[in-house]
Structure 1
Amino acid sequence: MDMLIFELERNTGKPLYEQLYLGIKNAIISKRIEVGTKLPSKRKLAEFLNISQTTIEIAYAQLLAEGYITSKPRVGFFVETIDDLPYVEKELNPEQVKPILKQTYRIDFNPGMIDLDGFPFSTWRKYAKILFDEQYKELLLTGYPQGEIELRTEISKYLFQSRGVITSPEQIVIGSGTEQLLPMIIRLFEQSNGYAIENPGYKTVNRILKQNGQTVYPITVDDEGIRVCDLEQTKASVVYVTPSHQFPTGAVLSATRRSQLLNWAAQDSDRYIIEDDYDSEFRYLGKPISSLQGLDKNEKVIYMSTFTKSLMPSLRVAYFVLPKSLLSKYNKTFTYYSSTVPRFDQHILAKFMKDGHFAKHLNRMRKIYKKKHDHMTEILETYYPMVSISGEHTGMNILISFPHSLSEAELKQIAAEKGIGVYPISDYMIGPVESTEPKFLLGFGGLCLSEIEPAIHELMQTWGISRANP
């Protein structure tokens, strides 16, 4: 019985059976109890340790399940032969790994924020309540790999009416964001000569491409969008662009550049364009910009978009539209694929769109964001000519630039110390770009209308920038 003298702590949160199980297990691993040794009966060990037989039974059962002991009917329990296992004593006070916390600010000009008060909770809740019912129990099973046909049908209708995208539900693939969909597209072009991306642009896209072993060519963006003449000097066979509202500069790809880009793709059978229709729903001046996909006559454009800005980032519903010429390859490549978006969420969104609520929501949010956009523009104009603005009239952020003796990094730090979150354009640089003065993105989506003016004034005061006409 000496071999099973364990110190059981009765005034602790750890159950006695677990303490006993760990004690015997560690003794077997460290060979303090030899292989083949018979363990005491449950009754004897219970009496010796002054604990219940049930406690002994649970501990023995766990050891038996994990293969540390074996049971012989009417004979007892014996220590089993096990392979040598690495055994490391745990530190009594192991160093705690601190979780990565999201930076929070008192005033946040984050361009990715949306207006939380504008979400149609009651309508969304109504559809959720309808669908979470026994009559829709089939939604508990795995659905169609490309996404629910009901949602793909509604997306197809919406894209044609609002963006001039010509597609059928069969060409649409639904997934849970760019991070999940872009690697799928990469698989379709395994023999590509590399990807050209906008600079500045989405750093996430750059990371995804490089993590998938792709060569990346950063292409400079100017007032007319991506410089196609620079693209033509690379070996890239696929280009990733945001033509309707370039992020983060806000530039709109000019008609000339659109033609040049489509002609570039048409010159080689291996060339394709990935069109990310960023922020296209929110344009405040003039008619909506037509999509590249709608202008494409050679099936060279893969159209991508999400419901991140139009509804909510946490919904995690995104999609791409494949040219018909790529459907066969897609189907062969992704025969194993299952949609990563829950079926219930897809059907809620489909019903929300089918009954016209999505269009109503967009119209309402467009008015809300236009008021915020116009108000921010109006306040920033009081700092002209010290502060210049660009990228306005579309999206949920404005780009400002101004001469200053401090760098973007220093200005960002000064603002952060005052509890103000700002986002320099250098955060979005993929490669070196000449810049003569600091540039920052100021998002207004997450700010209340009444917060915008005092927030702008406080930021400018923090940076030592005065209004032209105080």
Structure 2
Amino acid sequence: MPTPLLSLDPAGELPLYEQLYRALAGRIRAGELPAGRRLPGKRSLAEQLGVSVNTVDTAYQLLAAEGWLDARPRSGFFVAGRASLPLPGLPQAAPVPPVPTAAAAPVWQFDCGTSGVDTGLFPFRTWGRIQKELLYAQPGLLAHGHPQGDEELRAAIADYLQSYRGVVCTPDQIVVGAGAEYLLSLLAVLLPGGSAALEDPGYLRPRAVLGNCGVACLPVPIDAGGMDLDALEASGARIAYVTPSHQFPTGVTMPAPRRAGLLAWAMAAPGRYILEDDYDSEFRFDVRPLPSLQGMAGPDGPVVYLSTFSKSLAPSIRIAYMVLPRHLLGAYRARFSAYASTVSRFEQQTLYRFMAEGHFTRHLARMRKEYRARAAALTGALESAFGADRLTFGGRQAGLHFLLRVAGGPPEGEMVRAARAAGVRLAGLSEFCQAATCPPSTVVLGYGALAAGQAEPLAARLAELWR
């Protein structure tokens, strides 16, 4: 090996062994030292370069550890064969756009998005006390738990669902996961093939999740009773994803006859399923909610019930759950029993105790009272600012958002652009549509994240913008 090309700088920033390592690796990578070439002995190269034998040995050992050299006992070091080297010349990856940072996100003066909640209502003291007690008293929670979630939490969820939502299930039918998106991706694998019918207008995230899992998503229109059953039958879908208790985003409640018809559709052919998303059923202000579709179908009916604690506690808690029909449990465990639960056991056990000790029901009662008052304050302020005869509200009897239609108002797009430019976060109804025709001048107003006392200034701002 001609050594004049190797130049080491004793005064350089890098140690001598690393300079030598980099020089040799560069020549091997460039093909100047072909596979099978024997390198000079350690003592010989050390003398040529005027460095210690340890310097050469360290460089050779690094090259051998990374696969550039083969160390052969009593023979020395040889350039490794091409098959054992990292592949050179890989195509450059396309540039990845930067992830938006929190600092770059808009700062809204009024947050009327549909995903927000008032984090000031979170039970910090009680939640923190329970977590602290668990950290000291149950170190065993550091170990893996049940793949479907801790049994105590699943039992508490089953009791709650039986009492408040009419869901008929046992704890073994419940799967706890970090978000409804994760659970929906499991279902996409578990359920038979075929397309899925989604409400139009409807929730955007299931379209993305199911689509990413290879499930064709078909928009099916809704009317005053929810998903149109004739259109559902005509679509040929085998899965119907619905939000019957408070349709998102219109707020329509599916009446009992339509629910019965939807169940009849699912039972009319093998392999049909209903995915019942009960995302905000805790918040109904005027009437008691109808029993769940799952409760009407029974524990082994064609309904998978999904819900989350994102609205009732906080979005970042990331605890969601689904209730599987009994006949799907075997298939679920065959496919996913090796999966670990995606929710921290400390969070699971905190929520279990929060529910078992009665804090959850008291917390929900306080939140219902607070949000009912905020909804009334906001609708009243809007009527005063615009005039009650100009406004039509939809879906305000439940949930944390409602539709607002302004008679004689600007087109929806102009309404949304003007509001966002003025610091008001909201969405137009058409943003949730695929093929449906939306009524004019209609926006979706969420009030979960609005601070107390913001109703009147918000209404005045919108009235000024939408004159």
| TM-score tier (shorter) | 0.7 to 0.9
Match of 2:418 in 1: 414
TM-score of the aligned structures, taking structure 2 as reference length:
0.87
Q: Could you tell me which residue of structure 2 aligns to residue 32 of structure 1? A: 32
Q: How does 1:141-160 map to 2 (within 5 A)?
A: 141-160=143-162
Q: Distance in 2 between matches of 1:124 and 1:2?
A: 70
| Secondary structure of residue in 2 paired with 1:304 | strand
Q: Distance in 2 between matches of 1:125 and 1:462?
A: 43
What amino acid is aligned across from residue 343 of structure 1 in structure 2? R
Find the partner of 2:330 among 328, 343, 350.
Answer: 328
Taking structure 1 as the reference length, the TM-score comes to 0.87
| CA–CA separation in structure 2 for the residues paired with 1:242 and 1:16 | 67
Is contact 1:225–1:243 with CA below 8 Å preserved after alignment?
yes
Q: Which residue in 2 is equivalent to 1:425?
A: 429
1:36–1:81 Cα contact (<8 Å) kept? no
- For 2:252 and 2:177, the matched residues in 1 are separated by 27
Query: What is the aligned partner in structure 1 of residue 389 from structure 2?
Result: 385
Once residues 460 and 5 of structure 2 are traced to their aligned partners in structure 1, the CA distance between those partners, rounded to angstroms, is: 75
Residue 441 of structure 1: which of 444, 457, 463 is its match?
A: 444
Separation in structure 1 between the aligned mates of residue 316 and residue 324 of structure 2, nearest angstrom: 25
CA gap 1:118/1:202 in 2 versus in 1, 3 angstroms: same
Counterpart of 1:441 in 2: which secondary structure? strand
CA distance in structure 2 between the aligned counterparts of 1:223 and 1:105, rounded to whole angstroms: 36
Aligned mates of 1:6, 1:201 — CA distance in 2:
67
Which letter maps to 2:464? Q
Equivalent residue, structure 1, for 2:65? 65
Whether the 8 Å CA contact 1:68–1:82 is kept in 2: the answer is no
Provide the secondary structure at the position in 2 that maps to 1:98.
coil
Q: Which residue matches 2:250? A: 249
> Are 1:341 and 2:343 matched, yes or no?
yes
- 1:47 Cα deviation after fit: 7.5
Bigger mean CA offset, 330-339 vs 375-384 = 330-339
Determine if contact 1:115/1:446 at 8 Å carries over to the other structure: yes
Q: Are the counterparts in 2 of residues 386 and 402 from structure 1 also a CA contact under 8 Å?
A: yes
Quote the residue 1:216 is aligned against: 217
1:125 — aligned with what? 128
- The match for 1:452 among 455, 461, 464 is 455
CA contact (8 A) 2:416 2:427 kept: yes
Q: Secondary structure at the match of 1:233?
A: helix
CA change 1:45–1:63 in 2 (3 A) is farther
For 1:111, the aligned partner's letter is T
Q: Output one character per residue of 1:49-72: Cα deviation in whole Å (capped at 9) or x when no partner.
A: 7xx988766654432211213446
Cα distance between partner residues in 1 of 2:261 and 2:41: 82
In the TM superposition, residue 25 of structure 1 has moved relative to its aligned partner by: 1.8
Whether contact under 8 Å (2:196, 2:238) holds in the other structure is yes
- Ranges in structure 2 where 5+ consecutive residues have no aligned partner: none
- Measured after TM superposition, the shift of residue 366 of structure 1 is 1.5
The 8 Å contact of residues 156 and 167 in structure 1, kept in 2 or not, is answered as yes
Greater CA drift, 324-333 or 232-241? 324-333
1:36 aligned counterpart, secondary structure: coil
**Counterpart position of 1:240:** 241
Moved more, 452-461 or 119-128: 452-461
- Deviations 1:295-335 (CA, angstroms, capped at 9, x unpaired): 22571221110111111111211111112233233333334
Number of aligned residue pairs: give it.
455
Question: Partner of 1:468 in structure 2?
Answer: none
**Change in CA separation of 1:7 and 1:416 when aligned onto 2, cut-off 3 Å:** farther
Q: Identify the residue that residue 398 of structure 2 maps to in structure 1.
A: 394
Greater shift in the superposed pair: 408-417 or 376-385? 408-417
- Percent identity, aligned pairs only, is 36
How many angstroms does 1:157 deviate by? Answer: 0.7
- CA distance in 1 between counterparts of 2:16 and 2:312 reads 55
- The answer to whether the 8 Å contact 1:196/1:217 transfers is yes
Alpha-carbon separation, structure 1, partners of 2:225 and 2:248:
13
CA contact (8 A) 2:38 2:77 kept: no
Distance change >3 Å, CA 54–CA 38, structure 1 → 2:
closer
Give the deviation of 1:90 after TM superposition.
12
Partners of 1:444 and 1:452 within 8 A in 2? no
Q: How does 1:302-381 map to 2 (within 5 A)?
A: 302-381=304-383
Distance in 2, Cα, partners of 1:337 & 1:96 = 30
Q: 1:360 Cα shift?
A: 1.6
Q: 2:175 is paired with a residue of what secondary structure?
A: strand
Q: Distance in 2 between matches of 1:257 and 1:15?
A: 77
CA offset at residue 75 of structure 1? 7.8
Mean Cα deviation higher: 399-408 or 436-445? 399-408
**Contiguous gaps of at least 5 residues in structure 1:** 466-470
